[in-house]
Amino acid sequence: QKEVEQDPGPLSVPEGAIVSLNCTYSNSAFQYFMWYRQYSRKGPELLMYTYSSGNKEDGRFTAQVDKSSKYISLFIRDSQPSDSATYLCATNRDDKIIFGKGTRLHILP
């Protein structure tokens, strides 16, 4: 079983819509959960970082972690064309990051 699984997409939504991106993970020992955004030919850029179940909000972005079902979500409100990118969910084992394969998101103007 893969440690972090994501639907690769692509996911296309109209500008202004709410976007929901999801991930599952396999190991209940994972402690920290992250969402990174990656534009083409760029490095992963940290969006959200959390270590507890529940919601964490930052502007238009909300990260949600459900440790009982090993499920991670990222919600983007009022989506913009500039949000078009690949979104990587990630967790850690010791101090190394384990990434999902990423979901490609297209926001249509």
Partner 1 sequence: EPEVTQTPSHQVTQMGQEVILRCVPISNHLYFYWYRQILGQKVEFLVSFYNNEISEKSEIFDDQFSVERPDGSNFTLKIRSTKLEDSAMYFCASTVNRDQPQHFGDGTRLSIL
- The residue (of 29 and 96) whose beta carbon lies closer to partner 1 is 96
- The residue (of 34 and 107) whose beta carbon lies closer to partner 1 is 34
Between residue 62 and residue 91, which ones bind partner 1 under the rule CB under 8 A?
Answer: 88
Instruction: Determine if 105 is a binding residue for partner 1 (CB under 8 A).
Output: no
What contacts 61, CB < 8 A, 6 or more positions away? 35, 47, 48, 74, 75, 76, 77
Instruction: Determine if 36 is a binding residue for partner 1 (CB under 8 A).
Output: yes
CA dihedral 30, 5, 107, 51 (to 10 degrees): -10
Site residues (vs partner 1, CB under 8 A): 32, 34, 36, 41-46, 49, 88, 94-102
